[in-house]
A and B are shown apart, each in its own frame.
Chain A
Amino acid sequence: MIDVIDLKKSFGDVEVLKGINVTIHKGDIVVVIGPSGSGKSTFLRCLNCMEDPTSGSVIFNGVDIADMSVDINIHRRHMGMVFQHFNLFNNKTVIENIMLAPVYTRCQELSKARRKNAWLGVKNRFASADKKEEPVPITTTKAKIKEEAREDALRLLKRIGLEDKADAYPSTLSGGQKQRVAIVRSLAMNPDVILFDEPTSALDPEMVGEVLDLMKALADDGMTMVIVTHEMGFAREVATRVLFMDEGVIKESAPPEEFFAHPKNPRLQEFLSKVL
């Protein structure tokens, strides 16, 4: 699903990623660990081109999205992202946070289809009978889009037990609640993959569990996920593959059992001895 080929990223003169090659398949749960400053966040942010790679390719569903000429916004709609600091939209209520992107993008597509049909109407008038084009079928309206998105959002909120917070503002939620809303916000776009950058690092310890449980539930549903985290227990339990990133390269990549029991790379052995 995602093929990362010789990905490099520099900030100014500093090369942070020095050639990364990874393939992420559908249903994979890839956990990335590594020391601070090793480039984990940068790697994750290159996957959806929040940072534009300096060189290399990120092939997502067959398209090289690192190519600056593709419309990145369309591809990002299929990749959710969850941030360390939640980044819920502060000026929107919980349910608006979840509905915003789906409603906006679907309304945009609807307007585009309408414009296209209007133009076809004009064109067909002048075309000979055999060259007339069929208009795009339009089966929805803006009101319907909103209604569907609202139902969808309420269903997602119910899943995380926060339906009573639908009309609250993010500032009124606890950290754990915010992060769970942020996760279902990314789910609302029906993404093919969700990227998590230290989703539990900013949480009070007692709230880490609820967020990890939700992520486990997603994993059980077969969601493809790439997760940067320091939660080794989670990695061991849920990951299908663990990557060790150090000095801008991936030094080890293995299934969790092997990764934790028989680490080969000396830097990884040292790292694990410190964190376990």
Chain B
Amino acid sequence: MGDFGRKIERFLEVFIEKNGYVRVLNGLQNTLLIAVTGLLIGIVIGTLIATVRVVPKYKRLPRVLNGFCSFYVGLFRGTPMVVQLLVFYYVMLPILDINMTGVQVSMMVFGLNSGAYISEIMRSGIQSVDPGQLEAGRAVGLSFHTSMMKIVIPQAVKNILPTLGNEFISLIKETSVVSFVGAADLYVAFSYIGSNSYEFMVPYLVMALIYIVLVMLISLMIRLMERSLKKSDRRN
């Protein structure tokens, strides 16, 4: 441990003098960008799929859509994120002849992937809302769609907020694999510092700390949000 001070010195040297911090900030930005965009796309896709899955299935169109949605969810939940990234980047893009950066591909794949998970979360959220709420909406003449959007889904979201927060946290953590498709995230930034200072202990320690702080901040935000949404539960 005697040379720990020396290690910190070497880290700081690359971090500050060789502009390592710029890469770290850039990596942090990409990490957050991928996780946040992924979550937002995921919420949209997840809500759509969840709605399709709770629609009554007398007619043909809902049945077909439902089949497609089960296939989609099965596909994205049944394969690792890394594999999905690699397939999109190295298989789909060349076949479709599209140019996208690693970060863009990551945002998309994270969105598609979390859409599959969020659809299940959202479905349980929707099912946790008393069916009487939908009925009351329909009884005053609102369409299924409007009743869902204005009455059921807001209550479902409130119920699943903690779970949705956990999904966001796991998205943040999973961003650590996006370097597979050349996106410069935190891992890439700290590896750069490591290889330029010939010393990996401190960079990876700092990286771990950043992840921990990120996750703690998000947990705090979720708790605050939950509290403000609780106001419709409180007696006054």
Contact = CB atoms under 8 A, between A and B. Distances in A.
A165 B130 CA distance: 23
A189 B140 contact: yes
A100 B143 CA distance: 13
B9 interface: no
Contacts of B132: 83, 85, 87
A139 interface: no
B130 A73 contact: no
A185 interface: yes
Interface in A57-96: 73-77, 79-81, 83, 85, 87-92
Contacts, number: 78
B236 A168 contact: yes
A90 B132 CA distance: 11
A57 B155 CA distance: 36
Contacts of B8: none
A83 B135 contact: yes
Contact of A89 (B137, B138, B235): B137
B174 to A, nearest CB: 32
Contact of B136 (A83, A105, A169): A83
Contacts of A81: 136, 139-140
Interface in B193-236: 231-236
B151 interface: yes
A172 B235 contact: yes
A90 B233 CA distance: 8
Chain B: interface size category: 20 to 34
Contacts of A48: 139
Contact of A91 (B142, B146, B232, B235): B232
A119 interface: no
B146 A104 contact: yes
B101 interface: no
A171 interface: yes
Interface in B129-180: 130, 132-133, 135-143, 146, 150-151, 154-155, 158
Chain A: interface size category: 20 to 34
A169 B154 CA distance: 15
A186 B233 contact: no
B234 A172 contact: yes
A76 B140 contact: yes
Contacts of A118: none
A233 to B, nearest CB: 27
Interface string A91-115: 1100000001100110000000000
Contact of B133 (A90, A182, A186): A90
B232 A77 contact: no
B136 A77 contact: no
A87 B140 contact: no
Contacts of A91: 151, 154-155, 158, 232
A50 B232 contact: no
Given A90-B155, A172-B234, A105 B141 contact: yes
A152 to B, nearest CB: 14
Interface string B15-40: 00000000000000000000000000
Contacts of A83: 132, 135-136, 139
B55 to A, nearest CB: 15
A171 B143 CA distance: 25
B135 A87 contact: yes
B140 A171 contact: no
A169 B155 CA distance: 13
A160 to B, nearest CB: 18
A189 B141 contact: yes
A214 B92 CA distance: 65
A171 B234 CA distance: 7
Query: Which 3 pairs from chain A and chain B are nearest by CB?
Result: A77-B141, A87-B136, A101-B140
Given A81-B136, A81-B139, 13 more contacts: A50-B135, A74-B141, A76-B140, A87-B136, A90-B155, A91-B155, A100-B140, A100-B142, A101-B142, A171-B232, A171-B234, A172-B236, A182-B136
